[in-house]
Amino acid sequence: MQKFLSKSYIETENIASKLAQTLKGTEIIAMFGGLGAGKTAFTRGLARGLGIDDGVSSPTFALVHEYDGKYPVYHFDMYRINSFDDLYTTGFFFFFYNGIMVIEWSENIENALPDDCIKIYIKHISENEREIIIEGADTI
């Protein structure tokens, strides 16, 4: 377990960008943390670390956005998913190990996550501070 205190949006991006340097290309990264915690910020940094410089936004309506960098990145938002059937019909499982999956609102699909996934917990501390816990990843 690795723990950080981020004091700004850019610091959150930078932590994620460092994590990106440790990835091999098939990781499943599950993010937890409520509304406005910084999950999209973290995804932006991760994408930047893989050479993807823009176009990252919450895929709330599209469910998944695909980006192409050093590895393919599949950015999911599970905010509206609340059953296994919903998840299954999105084709979620076909993405497994075909690229890096980054998943916002993993709370909603926790039972469908593989044991070897990387978990990111983002906790709101104050207006500009977030505690970020990374589990299951190499040291960044």
Ligand X SMILES: Nc1ncnc2c1ncn2[C@@H]1O[C@H](COP(=O)(O)OP(=O)(O)OP(=O)(O)O)[C@@H](O)[C@H]1O
- For Mg ion, the binding residues (CB under 5 A) are 39-40, 58, 104
Nearest-approach distance from CB 39 to ligand X, in angstroms? 3
| Contact status, residue 38 vs residue 5, Cβ threshold 8 Å | no
Dist CA 102 CA 100 (whole Å):
7
Dist CA 102 CA 54 (whole Å):
16
User: For ligand X, which stretch binds (CB under 6 A), given 29-37, 63-71, 86-94, 106-114?
Assistant: 29-37
Sign of CA dihedral 17, 114, 132, 127: positive
User: For ligand X, which stretch binds (CB under 6 A), given 17-25, 66-74, 90-98, 127-135?
Assistant: 127-135
Q: Which residues bind ligand X (CB under 6 A)?
A: 6-9, 11-12, 33, 35-41, 58, 104, 128-130
